């Protein structure tokens, strides 16, 4: 096809798709043409509010400019709220460079704090917006787990499709137990061909909110796990079957089983949703995902994702390659421990100082771990060998756990998005203990 005719086709399809226009999922209101918002007027504590938003595939609202700030104030005022939780979390007082937006966009650009805020006291990193009175539109700090108030959830825009029951972020999700098929479970290759007969592929996953949307879809569905649309083309090296990039990873750091397919855990544990390798011949529930409007796009303009398979393009695309443990081997970087870092945002890795040196140096380390406002912190010790206790504290300074000795891999789950860990390595080398390594993930 010539460049010109391709451009014409692209233009044509842009017009066709533009005519449809993006929409918000049911129950959400399109604000300023760029945000899907819904105000919930029940009084919930911060984490409860975040959890409710996450079931819808969203977070508390993130605010990027004064126009949106004003629109959100008006929206909340129209349903009678005096204050609402918003999607901002601050880790220290009087310093907005320690405030993060729920949407993983990093340190805040736009902010609307009232004088004297953020004022983080005790467990007060959460932020709400004043809706009524002279401070309307201004942001203030409040203790997350003490006060309950209304809140505003935000979910991504999507494309209209009246035939799609689960429409999220421009895709239609088709869980196997809702398809017209004889059994809701199948091998990987059967599952992928059932998806293809529904103009879809097995699901690929690209963000934490998408993980949460899928977790919510399977609450009470009776599936313990589902196949994801990924297959290994080399050991431990996966590719999404729909041709999309490996731009997000949620592998369970403690998974040990090997296989050429990936399954997502949907058991009832609080940190479910993680991925692990599995045998492709296992019989599993599965989830199909199709781009809304994608059938038209594929047949007119873009080669179907499945067709893109020349070696060159394979090389160019990011792949999953042991994502969490391939530490950069710069010779000048002697310490990967993150010992004494001011704040380490998850996902990340910590190790004892000097790890994996079998004669660890004597020192004392503190790790201040944090997740964005919507999440709690999971600590996954993949290797553990210490003489003294490794002390793990919640954000109020209460000791959650204090493992020691030689241990098989294990997890410790935090109660909120802040955890502090301390380790005194004074006797480790003397008694032949080699320290620890842990993956830190939000859940
Ligand atoms: C604010 O926090 C940042 C990052 O932690 C730090 O570099 C900066 O010095 C702090 N500023 C003030 C005024 O405390
Ligand atoms: C497949 O699903 C059916 C219905 O839920 C269940 O009875 C059966 O045990 C499942 N088979 C396997 C191998 O998991
Ligand atoms: C970490 O901080 C503690 C006390 O603040 C200090 O004693 C220790 O030497 C530091 N550790 C390293 C490895 O810098």
* 93 and 60 housed in the same domain: yes
Q: Which residue's alpha carbon is nearest to atom 7 within ligand 2?
A: 183
Ligand 2 atom with the shortest distance to the CA of 283: 13
* 91 and 177 housed in the same domain: no
Smallest-distance ligand from the CA of 342: 1
Q: Say which CATH number the domain at 379 has.
A: 2.60.120.290
* 183 and 137 housed in the same domain: no
Q: Of 132, 155, 178, which residue sits at a domain end?
A: 155
Reported as a single tens digit per residue, the pLDDT across 272-316 is 999 999 999 999 999 999 999 744 333 333 333 333 333 333 444
Q: Of 291, 321, 354, which residue sits at a domain end?
A: 291
* 404 and 359 housed in the same domain: yes
Ligand 1 atom with the shortest distance to the CA of 95: 1
Span from the CA of 329 to the centroid of ligand 1 (angstroms): 30
* 138 and 180 housed in the same domain: no
Q: Which of 92, 95, 118 to mutate to test the pocket of ligand 1 (most atoms within 8 A of CB)?
A: 95
Span from the CA of 338 to the centroid of ligand 1 (angstroms): 18
Instruction: Decide: 364 and 390 in contact? Cβ < 8 Å.
Output: no
Instruction: Decide: 425 and 353 in contact? Cβ < 8 Å.
Output: yes
Domain holding 193, by residue range, is 167-291
Instruction: Decide: 292 and 168 in contact? Cβ < 8 Å.
Output: no
CA distances from 287 to 64, 232, 315 (A): 34, 18, 27
Span from the CA of 118 to the centroid of ligand 1 (angstroms): 13
Ligand 3 atom with the shortest distance to the CA of 364: 8
- φ and ψ at residue 185, rounded to 5 degrees: -130, 150
* 143 and 256 housed in the same domain: no
Q: Which of 337, 354, 363, 435 to mutate to test the pocket of ligand 3 (most atoms within 8 A of CB)?
A: 363
* 208 and 133 housed in the same domain: no
Reported as a single tens digit per residue, the pLDDT across 315-344 is 445 555 444 444 444 333 457 899 999 889
How far apart (Å, rounded) are the C-alpha atoms in residues 262 and 147? 41
316 within some domain: no
Q: Of 102, 130, 155, which residue sits at a domain end?
A: 155
Taking residues 53-82, report their average pLDDT. 97
* 138 and 255 housed in the same domain: no
Q: Say which CATH number the domain at 126 has.
A: 3.10.100.10
Instruction: Decide: 74 and 84 in contact? Cβ < 8 Å.
Output: no
Is residue 6 pLDDT above 50, yes or no?
A: no
CB of 184 sitting under 6 A from ligand 2: yes
* 258 and 355 housed in the same domain: no
160 within some domain: no
Give the confidence band of 123 by pLDDT, cuts at 50, 70, 90: low
Q: What is the pTM of this model?
A: 0.86
* pLDDT value of position 148: 95
Span from the CA of 161 to the centroid of ligand 1 (angstroms): 47
């Amino acid at each position: 096809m010539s460049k010109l005719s391709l451009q014409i086709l692209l233009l044509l399809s842009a017009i066709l798709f533009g005519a449809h226009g993006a929409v918000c999922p049911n129950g959400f209101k399109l604000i300023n043409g760029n945000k899907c918002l819904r105000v919930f007027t029940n009084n919930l504590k911060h984490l409860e509010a975040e959890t409710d938003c996450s079931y819808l595939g969203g977070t508390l609202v993130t605010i990027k400019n004064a126009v949106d700030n004003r629109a959100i104030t008006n929206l909340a005022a129209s349903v009678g709220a005096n204050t609402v939780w918003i999607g901002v979390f601050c880790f220290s007082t009087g310093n907005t460079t320690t405030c993060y937006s729920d949407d993983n966009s990093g340190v805040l650009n736009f902010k609307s704090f009232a004088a004297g805020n953020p004022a983080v006291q005790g467990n007060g990193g959460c932020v709400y917006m004043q809706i009524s009175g002279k401070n309307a539109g201004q942001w203030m700090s409040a203790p997350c787990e003490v006060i309950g108030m209304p809140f505003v959830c935000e979910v991504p825009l999507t494309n209209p499709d009246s035939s799609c029951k689960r429409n999220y972020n421009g895709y239609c999700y088709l869980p196997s137990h809702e398809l017209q098929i004889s059994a809701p479970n199948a091998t990987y290759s059967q599952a992928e061909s059932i998806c293809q007969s529904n103009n879809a592929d097995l699901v690929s996953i690209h963000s934490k909110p998408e993980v949460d949307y899928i977790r919510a879809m399977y609450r009470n569905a009776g599936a313990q796990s589902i196949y994801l649309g990924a297959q290994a083309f080399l050991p431990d090296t996966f590719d999404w079957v729909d041709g999309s990039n490996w731009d997000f990873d949620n592998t369970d750091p403690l998974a040990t089983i090997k296989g050429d397919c990936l399954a997502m855990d949907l058991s009832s544990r609080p940190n479910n949703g993680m991925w692990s390798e599995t045998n492709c011949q296992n019989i599993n529930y599965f989830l199909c995902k199709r781009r809304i409007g994608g059938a038209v796009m594929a047949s007119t303009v873009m080669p179907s994702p499945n067709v893109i398979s020349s070696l060159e393009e394979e090389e160019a695309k990011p792949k999953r390659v042991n994502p969490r443990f391939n530490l950069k081997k710069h010779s000048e970087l002697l310490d990967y421990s993150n010992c004494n870092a001011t704040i380490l945002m998850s996902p990340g890795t910590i190790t004892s100082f000097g790890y994996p040196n079998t004669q660890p140096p004597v020192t004392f380390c503190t790790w201040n771990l944090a997740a964005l406002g919507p999440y709690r912190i999971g600590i996954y010790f993949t290797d553990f060998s210490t003489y003294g206790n490794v002390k793990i504290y919640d954000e109020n300074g209460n000791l959650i756990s204090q493992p020691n000795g030689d241990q098989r891999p294990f997890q410790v789950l935090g109660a909120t998005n802040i955890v502090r860990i301390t380790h005194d390595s004074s006797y480790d080398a003397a008694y032949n203990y080699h320290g620890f390594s842990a993956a830190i993930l939000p859940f």
